[in-house]
A = this chain, B = another copy of it.
Amino acid sequence: MEEVKEFYSVEEKKLARYAKALSHPVRVYICDILSKQACCYSGDLAEEVPIARSTLSQHLKELKNSGLVQGEINPPKIKYCLNKENWAEAQQLFKEFFK
Residues of A within 8 A of B (CB): 7-8, 12-13, 15-16, 19-29, 31-32, 35, 49-50, 87, 90-91, 94-95, 97-99
Contact = CB atoms under 8 A, between A and B. Distances in A.
Taking chain A's interface residues, is the majority helix, strand, or loop, or is none over half, making it mixed?
A: helix
A87 B91 CA distance: 16
Copies in the complex: 2
B12 A16 contact: no
Given A19-B22, A25-B8, A28-B15, A87 B98 contact: yes
A10 B75 CA distance: 36
A40 to B, nearest CB: 17
B16 A25 contact: yes
A72 B71 CA distance: 47
A99 B92 CA distance: 11
